[in-house]
Chain A
Amino acid sequence: MRKLISVLILALFLGSCEKVLMREEPKNDPLTNYDELWQRLNDRYAYFQEKNINWDSLGTIYRAPLSLASSDEELFSALDSLLYALRDGHVNLFAPFNITRNWEWYLGSPQNFNREVLERNYLGRDYKIAGGIRYTYLQDSIAYLYYSSFSSNLSTEQLDYIFNYFKDAKGLIVDVRDNGGGNLNNAFSLAQRLVKTEGIVLLTDEKIGPNPQDFGNGLQYSLSPSSRPNFTKNTILLTNRSCYSATNTFAALLKSQAHIIQLGDTTGGGGGLPVDYELPNGWNYRFSSTRSFLATGEDIEMGVIPEIPLNLDTSEYNLGRDGLIEAALAELN
């Protein structure tokens, strides 16, 4: 019996030794939290080189005011300043009392969009809605669709219906202004209904190790014309700076198509796929871990440049006119 008890004690001791085996928990103080975030991005953020960011230097500058006694607000402020320098809409730190952000990609540019003018003077009262897409015919058999968020899913049947409805149109305006992104699958589904020629449309890679040159897992994305109802006549894609993330990628997918012209402002960018993590104090954050390129090799992190750059004359709003739609109509006619 004594032997049994000895073995039991030994077994229970071995069973609880995982604390010794596992890595230690990081400290939860302002300096450790700051260093943890700095290190994580240093190892895994995808765009230091493209944006010519000296991360070492920034890390030192914004760490300087912090101490072990710094408050949560002071830590948040230091991290906010550090992350702001990345100029990346996919970088945010979520604290219980605030969210860091750099939204200069659209706040520093004209909005070039007025939903009220669109709804009251172009869509009217009889437009159709399917899967987050509002669509109708404008003047002279020009089809028009407005997609406000790629988070609104599109089914195959909905796309079939939309493009059947547009089969007699002589041109199409695809308006994705103020579309902040969403699900990339929706971007690919819609783009496939618009392409006329098959080819590589997007290249991506990702950070695969902690060194600055550690990029790999390259992928090539191709699109071919859909065998289902589609639209391959002249098309105008309307964009503004609030076209971000999946919408930015959507513009990139159509870039190689000669019959599709992008009109408006450069898209907002956001070519990297954000991944999430958290600090020892429980705040979570996200940052870009991948890079995306046009088939020609140009990085799309800072946006996709239109063939016809055009800003709205805001005084036209009072006349109920959307200058970008008017320009698109003129182009298609």
Chain B
Amino acid sequence: MKKLALLSVLAFFCAHLQAQSLFEGEYLLFGLGGQMENFKDDLVSPLHYRGYSGAAALGWHSQHGAWQNNLDGHIAIGLQSPATLNDASNQTTTISGSINYNLRYRIINREKQALFLGLCSANLIGFRQHNLYRNSSLSFSNFISYGLSASWQYQPQLKIWNVKIPFAWQTEFNFPLASYLIMPGYNRQFFNDKAGLRKHSFIGDFWHLEFRHNLVYPLSNGNQVRLSYHWNYAEYNGLNYLAQAQHYLMFHLLFKL
């Protein structure tokens, strides 16, 4: 216990010794980009569906000293088709989105790098409509998950022909341990006007992983532009198997508050 307390004090002290990084401060984030959606939903089809969506993001990022608070939301709309059937008219329209909150504390702080650990609330929503179906055309998947979170920041001193190029890199990883799932029932989506499946699951029953990589370039007025790649994967192995993966590539503008 004493060791833990000592480590915590040291970590806190080290955190405050960190030089100002590009991530320091508060930022309002706006983003636009595209998303590749890939899912296999046993209520919809035995086939994988895949397609592209347009995506938009909104967020608030805050880093003060050793504490990091990130709130991110995104929404995407697009069409998907069976991945293995080239000329089929089968198609789904999917509206998907996410709302994530991360609270992290810096535990390692080096000259160019910092590692944060903390907690995440990672929430995925998805609504799919099949174009050839009638009563069961709608399927949905909602993972309201929480668990562990980490982020790694890297801010090198890059010089090319003696010109200093300022940039930074951030990788974030969310690893939910439990999730409240809202999905259709076995045969029908709703029972008594409520989603057919509403249950709390622990890891093993479900999987939910998220990676996000950001390449950060500061602007002269304190704002930033970021190129962000985000991958999330969610799976539920229940009566209706569901696996969905989303890759999205977005261009973010961050306004310093």
A207: Cβ under 8 A from any B Cβ: yes
- B residues less than 8 Å from A7 (CB atoms): 152, 171
Q: Chain A: interface secondary structure?
A: mixed
B31: Cβ under 8 A from any A Cβ: no
A319: Cβ under 8 A from any B Cβ: no
Q: How far is the CB of A222 from chain B (nearest CB, A)?
A: 14
C-alpha gap A284/B133 in the complex (Å): 8
CB pair B156 A278 closer than 8 Å: no
Question: Provided the pairs A15-B211, A28-B84, A278-B90 are in contact, do residues A207 and B135 lie with their beta carbons within 8 angstroms?
Answer: no
CB pair A217 B245 closer than 8 Å: no
Q: How far is the CB of B91 from chain A (nearest CB, A)?
A: 11
Interface-facing stretch out of B45-53, B63-71, B97-105, B198-206: B45-53
B146: Cβ under 8 A from any A Cβ: no
C-alpha gap A282/B154 in the complex (Å): 47
Interface size of A as a range: 35 or more
A309: Cβ under 8 A from any B Cβ: no
A26: Cβ under 8 A from any B Cβ: yes
CB pair A276 B137 closer than 8 Å: yes
Interface-facing stretch out of B2-10, B120-128, B185-193: B185-193
CB pair B186 A22 closer than 8 Å: no
> For window 3-24 of chain A, which residues contact chain B by CB distance below 8 Å?
3-4, 7-8, 11, 14-15, 18, 21-23
CB pair A289 B187 closer than 8 Å: yes
Question: Provided the pairs A25-B47, A290-B188 are in contact, do residues A276 and B229 lie with their beta carbons within 8 angstroms?
Answer: no
Per-residue CB proximity of B174-194 to A under 8 Å, as 1/0? 000000000001111001100
CB pair A23 B187 closer than 8 Å: no
11 cross-chain CB contacts under 8 A:
A21-B235, A22-B38, A44-B187, A206-B185, A217-B185, A217-B191, A275-B187, A275-B188, A278-B45, A282-B47, A282-B90
Additional A-B contacts beyond A208-B187, A282-B82 (14; CB < 8 A): A4-B156, A18-B245, A21-B235, A22-B235, A22-B243, A206-B185, A208-B185, A217-B191, A275-B136, A276-B130, A276-B137, A277-B136, A278-B45, A278-B90
